[in-house]
Amino acid sequence: MDLKQTLFKLCDSNFIGNIHTAAQLAADMLKAYTDDVTIDDTGSVAAVIKGKTHKKIMLQAHIDEVGMVVTGVLDNGFLKTAKVGGVDIRVLPASSVVIHAKEDIKGVFGSVPPHLSKDNEDKYPDLDKLCIDTGLDNAKDIVSVGDYVTYDIKAVELQNGFITAKSLDDRAACTALIYAAELITKNGTPDCTVVISLTSGEEIGNRGATTAAYAVDADEAVAVDVSFGISPCTPAEKCGVCSKGAMIGISPVLSKAVTNALVDAAKENGLSIQYEGMGGETSTDADVISITKSGIPCGLLSIPLRYMHTPVEIISLTDVENVANILAAYVKKGGAF
């Protein structure tokens, strides 16, 4: 598969609320490497690679994204919105968006000209003070309360294999899992059954991973997400370095055995890793997977990402490839148990 083009296609699609185009796209991609692909009522994708034994490993990433929902349709084509997930509202003024209404329409978050806001030039407005300008005379003919809003931006390649796009959180991980499926099946049937699970609702409370983990009922799992990539003015001790390999999570909620097996798989295959220590929960779907049913031993791999929850997130394509290779090596060695 073409890793870059797969990532671009996934990032340029959408998954928010009842809009699940990214899930259908990912499901279609996974059909080439798996034995059975389904999409449940929440939009979560489950793709099964049948193994030689009954042991089951779940490889999980979330496919939803942050965005907005329309809460008010005002006169002269202006819209009020609320956040869906942890949108960075500092970047909204002057951002281009798509409103998924009766038909998709373009809009922009307006901003007050600096000439008229000198007294507040060091502050940014709350979301309830911002409006989307659609340019319509009467938006009520097309837009309704409850319509979803996503960033209007296309994935772009920067220099040295860096990619910028919306929803790299967590389409970068989804891409890694699709590539891992190709690598796992490249050399025939694996010993373990593998379920690639691309789940809904992480940005609004880990909802899809909770139900998907229950349905899969795996013997062990690895969650894949993004984490903070270091950039100027970010604390180095809380960040990974983009292009320097996968971040392996270490946390009291994660399985030590799965974590060690991921480290071993990486080292045995000469794959670069970084460590991410956390004192409590990981703030990823690993938190709910690990306590599903009677508990599923779960590890965590993360891709370093800059500018999280903005329309210009950045990752290194080499880190996506690195994560996929670690997952394939982990499955090849039979997991942790």
Query: 247-257: per-residue pLDDT in tens?
Result: 999 999 999 99
Helix (H, G, I), strand (E, B) or coil at 88: coil
Exposure class string for 221-260: b at 16+ Cβ within 10 A, else e: bbbbbbbbbbeeeeeeeebbebbbbbbbbbbebbbeebbe
Q: Which of 151, 176, 210 is the last residue of a domain?
A: 151
Report pLDDT digits (tens) over 183-193. 999 989 999 99
Report pLDDT digits (tens) over 87-112. 999 999 989 999 999 999 999 998 76
Residue 144 and residue 266 in one domain: no
Residue 89 domain-assigned (yes or no):
yes
- Mean pLDDT across the chain, nearest whole number? 94
Dist. CA 3–CA 179, nearest whole Å: 7
Please give the residue range of the domain that contains residue 134: 67-151
Which CATH number do you get for residue 260? 3.40.630.10
Candidates 285, 295, 289, 301; CA nearest to 206 is 285
Dist. CA 58–CA 284, nearest whole Å: 15
Domain count, the chain: 2
Residue 240 and residue 318 in one domain: yes
Looking at mean pLDDT, say which of 5-9, 115-119, 188-192 comes out highest.
5-9
pLDDT of 315 strictly over 80: yes
Residue at token pair 């997977």 = 289
CA diameter of the chain: 69
| CB of 187 closer than 8 Å to CB of 174 | no
Residue 192 and residue 57 in one domain: yes
| CB of 246 closer than 8 Å to CB of 301 | yes
| CB of 130 closer than 8 Å to CB of 92 | yes
115 band by pLDDT with thresholds 50, 70 and 90: low
pLDDT of 284 strictly over 70: yes
Residue 9 domain-assigned (yes or no):
yes
Residue 58 and residue 77 in one domain: no
